[in-house]
Structure 1
Amino acid sequence: MAAITIRSMVVNAFLIYQLAVHFASASPLYAAKGGVHRRLFPAIETPSAVILTPIAGSPTLLPIPTQTPTSTPSETTSATPSATPSLAFQNFITRRGNKLYDGDQQFRFVSANTPGLLISEDTPGIRWVVPPPYEQDDLMRSVAGIGGLVARTYTLGVPYHIVGPGVYNETGFVGMDNAIAAAGRNGVRLIVPLINENLSAGEENTFLIGAYRDLAAFRGLEADVFYTNDTLRSDFKDTITYVLNRVNTVTGIRYGDDPTILAWQTGNELGSWEKPPAPADWLLDISTHIKSLSQSLVMDGTIGGSWRWQGIDVPTIDIYDSHLYGTNDTKSLREDAAFASLHGKVHVIGEYGLTDPVVYDTYMDENINNPNITGSLIWSLRGHANGGGLNVHSEGKNGTSNEYEIVSYHVPGLPPNIPDKIGPEETTVIADLRRHALAIQNLPSTTPYPAPIAPVLLTVTNGQLTWRGSAWAASYTVFRGNSTSFNGTETPLAMGVLDNVSIGDVVTRGYLWADASFVAGMEVHYAVQAVGVGGDLSPLSNVI
């Protein structure tokens, strides 16, 4: 009976896979039985000591889409466990009443949501994709340079992480390994929501991954029993167990033992503003389970209306948040923060944005000046694309926005390119974000900007160049010569070159920047150098 159950789960996963788009390289999957994870494909090396055997009769599963980065001599794209695990942070963030602490120092932050860190939806032709390590590191460099001490990810995805009850996709989790490692390397702590809000009947699941109705569907159940059905609750707790017991294939550290994770969030916008909220008994059960497996804090994921305080007195929940997407939310923010403080809990602005950017300063100022607000996270920050240019994302227009689209932001705040979804407010928003992020840490606004790392020249064809950019590069200098050796003393071909171009545009036209003086038949070579905001120069790129 157990084998039949597992096989039926796999078949269900297979049907879900058939609905996914543009799949790429094969990815190993696991099925859990009795606490032991068994690979559905022939065994290869894994990060933990488990028994690996194929499940007889299981169908061939379609793979999860994943980008394959262009390799360079100095870059590795596969995870290699550390021989000796080393922690990026010495302390877990702890809570004392309504305050957070890093050791004996109060911990407060102004930073950003980074929804593309675990799963990216910005790659041309692919709805969702596991981002390559370069993009994850670039994004965490972006956050760190702002002065952001924290980043909030998007949720675990179905089927990108969770394929069925007890069935998990290794490609997605190796991507998560790389994301956590990149955050730690760059001194950024993470808030990770575990599951996503549900959709109403009839709504298309086009923008949500990991909606809890997908977890219910694995068992042939409706979403409205997610919080009350014992089997679904057990499934969710089993997934949490798998996640927190996972040993990171890059750092060698078990997720539950890694202080890089500031908090595990019970979900993202559970209840939304109109659907049933997570009840107190569910929040108590789930948060207690998380606490039994991890030293990190627990953040409530409920949102919307007075019902969002269902678990305010649950002792195993540490942090509550507000999501602000209007122009007059300061009063409700203060009320929320005061209510959380009254109950001895931490309050943060988990998301804000999608409105007139002049409002953002109000929220960041409130974060700094109101002792009941520990942190704030703008929506949202994106980084460079693996294939050149930028990952961009549009949230469209709404009733509280300006005339232009609300789009994602990029460091260091690039000049607008409206057709490519790089908005006119980006320069101001990033500057204000960094100013507040430094101020909340009592750091001067004159704190130097990070120096960019070397870009990677990817392709050169008839004077048309594409390179992989560098976080905090304000511009690039392009060199051209007859030799394959450059030392940076050559006369530049072009200075002040920008890469404020979307990856979609790069793919469409086939290059990032063109040498206007190139003549057919020239035998020349190129190199690129990043120029930082403060004038710092990166090493030269490779030469092509």
Structure 2
Amino acid sequence: MDIFILMESFSTLEVSIPPLYSTLASGLTIKGEEFQARDLVETIAAFGSLVSRTYTLHVANVVFPDGKEKPSSSHILGWDNSTNDWIFNETNWRNIDKALDLARHHGVKLIIPIINQDYGSSDTNWLIRHRYNIQNYTIAQQAVDWFTDREMIECYKKIISFYLNRINTFNGIRIGDDQTILAFETGNEMNWGYQNGSIAHDRPPPANWTIEIAHFIKLLAPKTLVMDGSYSRNPKMAWEEEALASPFIDLHSYHFYGEGETQPYHDCQLSLQNQVRVHKKTFIIGEHGFFDKEAVWEAFYKNITCAGALVWSLRSHSENGGFVTHGEGNNIYSYHAPGFRYQTSKKFDTQEADVISLTYDASYRILGLNPPPKPIPGNPEAFLVSNVTHAGISWRGAPWAQEYQVLGLSKFLHLNRN
């Protein structure tokens, strides 16, 4: 189903699902990969606005001294001088195919940022280092500007071309033509750093870079929206005027994290929204969260006036039983549906139940609908486990399940007879 008819009627309040791609590239069994992706998609499908945002392509980096991403979990393995092109991991690209096909079958629309910020911080600039064979990140940061280096711009286009021209191996749809994709984003939190060793990141990418990349995406996916992936971390200079005026960019976004950013949120959001609307574009909040009180979440949703907002972030059930967890630091963890009031693990966020419920309700109210009861879950998937000396049964959870009742065999047979 389509989420919007006109740009101004685009409305969504949802959660981001960064592991939709990364789960499928994490070295799990084929069954586990599909299970976790399906769990995420079926969870998102119950919200009022069937839109979510994935994470980016993963780049192998263990060849560098500070790298941690293994080839087995990556979509891009490195650079091949003999072909003058990137080396791609076909296994994990097939997993992207599967994730897109699952989303398509469940009517979930996706916003896809293509790459993570590659502007020079120590946990990024892998693409620059691969292309120029630079081991040290400081040297790479000072030697190559991602946004102005002509070779890196052309190399990024090679990634985009490979991505959007790819034919999905599960459904035969060219990815650039896949209506499952609501928008391609020029990147995640793209920010123009400085090459003088400064750690400051307070300006958006140059407008000419954003426009060139957006135009290239439009050429390959003319029926898909393009979202500006700029994140200046400076709301007074969120975008350059030329980017706002570009006909190749449909959506602009900003990220809000922590209570300090939400205190002046209403005025700030209105200012950003008005900047975008002047150019007849749509503004959304691409990520938000890390608020320390339920009241802040409530105020955030009450005061929102833009076309949509996406909470960071949601994790799935695990194929090994239980849930996948992810920490952001400072006792902040990713959420799980339907939300658990009491921590069953120290890696469950204490606000989880409230955040999921508030977001679920808001996802319907933004559409002018009364929130329905949360969905009735299906059956869990049981499987055998063993600790060498004893065998047992565990299960893979069902989307939106709060609890399970385990029946002994005699009780099960009694219920069946009746």
State the Cα deviation string for residues 14-58 of structure 1 (Å, max 9, x = none): xxxxxxxxxxxxxxxxxxxxxxxxxxxxxxxxxxxxxxxxxxxxx
- Which of 245, 254, 262 lines up with 2:165 in the alignment? 245
Change (3 A) 1:134 1:309: same
**Percent of residue pairs identical:** 32
Give the structure 1 partner of residue 312 of structure 2.
379
CA distance in 1, matches of 2:117, 2:31: 21
- Which of 323, 332, 353 lines up with 2:255 in the alignment? 323
The Cα shift of 1:487 comes to 9.0
Change (3 A) 1:481 1:246: same
Superposed CA RMSD: 2.8
Select between 216-225 and 179-188 the one with higher mean Cα deviation. 216-225
CA distance in 1, matches of 2:178, 2:206: 29
Report 1:198-277 matches (<5 A): 198=118, 200=120, 203=122, 205=123, 211=124, 213-220=125-132, 222-223=140-141, 224-271=144-191, 274=201, 277=204
Report 1:106-121 matches (<5 A): 106-120=9-23
**Given the two structures, how large is their TM-score scaled by the length of structure 1?**
0.63
Segments of 5+ residues of structure 2 without an aligned counterpart are: 61-73, 80-84, 135-139, 193-199
Asked if 1 retains the 8 angstrom alpha-carbon contact of 2:13 and 2:310, the reply is yes
Asked if 2 retains the 8 angstrom alpha-carbon contact of 1:120 and 1:130, the reply is no
State the Cα deviation string for residues 173-209 of structure 1 (Å, max 9, x = none): 11111111121222210000011113655x3x2xxxx
CA distance in 1, matches of 2:24, 2:220: 30
Change (3 A) 1:169 1:122: closer
Give the structure 1 partner of residue 33 of structure 2.
132
The Cα shift of 1:307 comes to 3.8
Aligned length: 370
Asked if 1 retains the 8 angstrom alpha-carbon contact of 2:3 and 2:11, the reply is no
Give the structure 2 partner of residue 435 of structure 1.
361
Change (3 A) 1:460 1:172: closer
CA distance in 1, matches of 2:356, 2:349: 12
The Cα shift of 1:120 comes to 3.7
1:413 match: secondary structure:
coil
Change (3 A) 1:463 1:238: closer
1:234 match: secondary structure:
helix
The Cα shift of 1:95 comes to 5.4
- Which of 281, 287, 295 lines up with 2:214 in the alignment? 287
Give the structure 1 partner of residue 64 of structure 2.
none
- Which of 141, 145, 167 lines up with 2:46 in the alignment? 145
**Given the two structures, how large is their TM-score scaled by the length of structure 2?**
0.81
Give the structure 2 partner of residue 472 of structure 1.
400
Report 1:493-512 matches (<5 A): none
Give the structure 1 partner of residue 65 of structure 2.
none
Give the structure 2 partner of residue 394 of structure 1.
327
CA distance in 1, matches of 2:167, 2:248: 24
2:269 match: secondary structure:
helix
Give the structure 1 partner of residue 349 of structure 2.
423
1:110 match: secondary structure:
strand
Give the structure 2 partner of residue 352 of structure 1.
288
Letter in 1 for 2:45: A
Give the structure 1 partner of residue 63 of structure 2.
none
Asked if 2 retains the 8 angstrom alpha-carbon contact of 1:418 and 1:424, the reply is no
Higher helix content, 1 or 2 = 2
Change (3 A) 1:131 1:479: closer
- Which of 276, 284, 308 lines up with 1:340 in the alignment? 276
Report 1:524-535 matches (<5 A): none
- Which of 166, 181, 187 lines up with 2:107 in the alignment? 187
CA distance in 1, matches of 2:32, 2:96: 9
The Cα shift of 1:284 comes to 1.4
CA distance in 1, matches of 2:289, 2:338: 18
Asked if 1 retains the 8 angstrom alpha-carbon contact of 2:119 and 2:190, the reply is no
Larger RCO, structure (CA 8 Å, separation 6 or more): 2
Change (3 A) 1:130 1:480: closer
CA distance in 2, matches of 1:135, 1:182: 11
Change (3 A) 1:458 1:119: same
Report 1:3-18 matches (<5 A): none
1:147 match: secondary structure:
coil
Select between 421-430 and 150-159 the one with higher mean Cα deviation. 421-430
Asked if 2 retains the 8 angstrom alpha-carbon contact of 1:120 and 1:131, the reply is no
CA distance in 1, matches of 2:350, 2:105: 32
CA distance in 2, matches of 1:279, 1:145: 39
CA distance in 1, matches of 2:252, 2:178: 22
